[in-house]
Amino acid sequence: MKSIREGFFCLLLIPLAGSPSLRAEASTTRNEEVETCLGCHGEKDASVTLPSGEKQSLYVPRDVFEKSVHGARQGCTGCHPAQTEVPHASLTAKDKAAFSAGFKDLCKTCHFENYTKALDGVHYQILAKGGSAPFCVDCHGAHDIMHPTVPRTRVSETCGACHGDMAETYAKSVHGMALAAGNPDVPVCTDCHHAHDIADPRTKDWRLTTIDLCAKCHTNKPMMAKYGLSTNVLASYLSDFHGMSAKLATSGEKPKVVTALCIDCHGTHDITKARDGNSQVLKANLQKTCAKCHVGASKNFPSAWLSHYEPSLKRAPLVWAVGVFYKIFIPFIIGGLCLQILLHLWRVLVNR
């Protein structure tokens, strides 16, 4: 009975936790904490020399921290719970890499879902093997954390810190140039690779997911209508030989070769408009593109492929005519067979 009364009393206190007076008190405590910390860490020459001989800056610019997403609502000890005593305990990190690694598990206190996703990502797999790869603070920052997609160009800039060549190639692509122009529809790095559970793009399983990644935008009718692009690209792809082999692979079958996926013909970070002079799918360049898989492909080899077009009287009239013929011929044959069976049954019944 006592525990019930205590529990009821606690429930009565919950609404008070969000009261203006308590919020104001928490804000005052936070401000006092920040002021105390910046008393030392607000000095530009605040630093420490690590056992490796490297000099690690401990400077935190006040204006940068105050503008960050944490600066407006969280004090210092939220991320540095071990530094509540002044002077602080001696650092155990031997070098800058170890110093940075010491903070990689702090984010899970508030961002546990994203933290666990990151544990499944390719970056953490590299770190677990002792390699060098980014974790939370390397991508999001430490005291200068801002919303990761404001502006959206921040995403490719962040990834470009390590993947510079790919970021440069992406910037020149049709997606990258549209992003720089402020287009909100084009994909950034995290739309294709995800943010925390980043998979290894060199694996066969990941390559197969690129079909769905491309389809996510290119089958969106309202979006594609803005740019005059067809949304039939996925259906036309899955109906030809290339798409059929991909469907077999995703259905559990294990074909020896899966060709060709969207990225094999259109590129990955270097995607251009289909009509651009350097486009891999431009008719003048198709022979070279096909030859990547079909060694020795002749100049006329690409003519056997309909691309993403459906056969019509104007485009591939012979294929269109054969399709129309079978649409008439097959029902005629099946209908005639059914009629023959019915007449035969009728004759059997009449002759009884």
Q: Could you tell me if residue 327 is inside a domain?
A: yes
Burial class (CB in 10 A: 0-12, 13-18, 19+), 128: exposed
Give the pLDDT score at 282: 86
Residues 72-80: contacts with CB within 8 Å, 24+ apart?
A: 73/30, 74/30, 75/29, 75/30, 75/33, 75/34, 76/33, 76/34, 76/37, 77/33, 78/109, 78/110, 79/103, 79/106, 80/106
Q: Could you tell me if residue 341 is inside a domain?
A: yes
Give the pLDDT score at 284: 85
- Amino acid at site 212: D
How big is the CA angle at 31 (ends 30 and 37), to the nearest 5 degrees?
90
Q: Could you tell me if residue 321 is inside a domain?
A: yes
Give the pLDDT score at 218: 94
pLDDT string in tens for the chain (352-residue length): 344 444 433 433 344 444 555 444 555 567 788 888 888 898 999 888 888 888 999 999 988 888 888 876 777 888 888 787 888 888 888 888 888 877 878 888 888 999 999 999 999 999 888 888 888 888 888 888 888 888 889 999 999 999 999 999 999 999 999 999 999 999 999 999 999 999 999 888 888 889 999 999 999 999 999 999 989 999 989 888 888 888 877 665 555 556 789 999 999 999 999 888 888 888 888 889 998 888 888 888 888 787 887 788 887 788 889 989 999 999 999 999 999 999 999 988 888 7
Q: Could you tell me if residue 333 is inside a domain?
A: yes
Give the pLDDT score at 107: 87
What is the Cα–Cα distance from 54 to 70, expressed in whole angstroms? 28
**Domain extent at residue 332:** 317-346
Q: Could you tell me if residue 270 is inside a domain?
A: no
Give the pLDDT score at 25: 52
Give the pLDDT score at 254: 56
Give the pLDDT score at 23: 47
Q: What is the domain count for the chain? A: 1
Q: CB–CB of 299/306 below 8 Å? A: no
Q: Could you tell me if residue 324 is inside a domain?
A: yes
Q: Could you tell me if residue 70 is inside a domain?
A: no
